[in-house]
Chain A
Amino acid sequence: MMDFINLILEPLQEMLLRFKEFLPNLLAMLVIIGIGLLLAKLLRAILLKFLAAVGFDSWSDRMGFTTLMRKGDLWVKPSVVVGAVAFWMLAIVTLMVGLSALRVAAIDSMVGEFFSYLPRVFSATMILLIGYVVSGFVSRAVLIAAANAGFHYAKLLGEVIRALLMLMILAMVMEQLQIATSIVLAAFSITFGGVVVALAIAFGVGGIGAAQRIIEREIAEEKPKENQDDIEHI
Chain B
Amino acid sequence: MTDFYQTGIITTLHQLGQPSLERLESELLGFAKTRPIALVLPALYSEFEGPAMPGIVQELSKVKYLNEIVLALDQATEDDFRRVREFMSPIQTEVKIIHNNGKRIGEVYETLTRNGLDAGLRGKGRSAWLAYGYVLARGKSDVIALHDCDIVTYSRELLGRLCYPVANPNLNYVFCKGYYSRVTSKMNGRVTRLLVTPLVRSLQQLTGQHGFLAFLDSFRYSLAGEFSMSTDLARINRIPSDWGLEVGSLAEVYRNYSPRRVCQVDIATTYEHKHQILSADDAEKGLMKMSVDICKSIFRTLASDGVVFSEGMFRSLIVTYLRQAEDTLMKYEADAMINGLTFDRHEEAKAVEAFSRAIAMASQAFVENPMGNPLIPNWDRVSAAIPDIFEMLRLAVDADNK
Contacts and interface: CB of A to CB of B under 8 A. Distances in A.
Interface of A: 57-58, 61-62, 64, 66-67, 70-71, 73, 75-77
B110 interface: yes
Contacts of B392: 66-67, 70
Given A64-B388, A67-B392, A70-B392, A75 B111 contact: no
A62 B107 contact: no
B23 interface: no
A71 B398 CA distance: 11
B395 to A, nearest CB: 5
A57 B114 contact: yes
Contacts of B386: 61-62
Nearest to A79: B114
A77 B110 contact: yes
Given A66-B392, A75-B103, A61 B114 contact: yes
Contact of A61 (B104, B115, B396, B399): B115
State the 7 A-B residue pairs at the shortest beta-carbon distance, nearest first: A67-B388, A75-B107, A70-B395, A75-B104, A61-B386, A64-B388, A58-B115
Interface residues of B, number: 16
A134 to B, nearest CB: 15
B107 A61 contact: no
A67 B386 CA distance: 10
Contacts of B104: 75
Contact of A71 (B107, B387, B395): B395
Nearest to B394: A70
Contact of B114 (A58, A64, A73, A76): A58
B115 A66 contact: no
B391 interface: yes
A61 B111 contact: yes
A180 B127 CA distance: 48
B391 A67 contact: yes
Contacts of A57: 111, 114
Q: Which of A58, A61, A62, A77 has the most B CB atoms < 10 Å from its CB?
A: A61
Nearest to B112: A61
Interface residues of B, dominant DSSP: helix
A75 B103 CA distance: 7
Contacts of A67: 388, 391-392, 395
A61 B391 CA distance: 12
Contacts of B114: 57-58, 61
B12 to A, nearest CB: 40
Contacts of B391: 67, 70
Interface in B344-399: 385-388, 391-392, 395-396, 399
A186 B103 CA distance: 41
Contacts of B103: 75
A2 to B, nearest CB: 72
Nearest to B139: A155
A66 B389 CA distance: 10
A66 B399 contact: no
A70 to B, nearest CB: 5
B400 to A, nearest CB: 10
Contacts of A66: 111, 388, 392
Contact of A76 (B107, B115, B399): B107
A71 B104 CA distance: 12
A183 B362 CA distance: 71
12 contacts: A58-B114, A61-B111, A61-B388, A66-B111, A67-B388, A67-B392, A70-B107, A70-B392, A70-B395, A73-B399, A76-B107, A77-B110
Contacts of B396: 70, 75
A73 B103 CA distance: 11
B396 to A, nearest CB: 7
Q: Which of B104, B385, B392, B396 has the most A CB atoms < 10 Å from its CB?
A: B392
Given A70-B396, A71-B395, A64 B107 contact: no
B387 A64 contact: yes
Nearest to B110: A77
Contacts of A62: 115, 385-387
Contacts of A64: 387-388
Nearest to A140: B387
Interface string B225-255: 0000000000000000000000000000000
Contacts of A76: 107
B78 to A, nearest CB: 14
A77 B386 CA distance: 15
B166 to A, nearest CB: 25
A58 B110 CA distance: 10
B254 to A, nearest CB: 32
Nearest to B395: A70
A177 to B, nearest CB: 27
Contacts of B110: 77
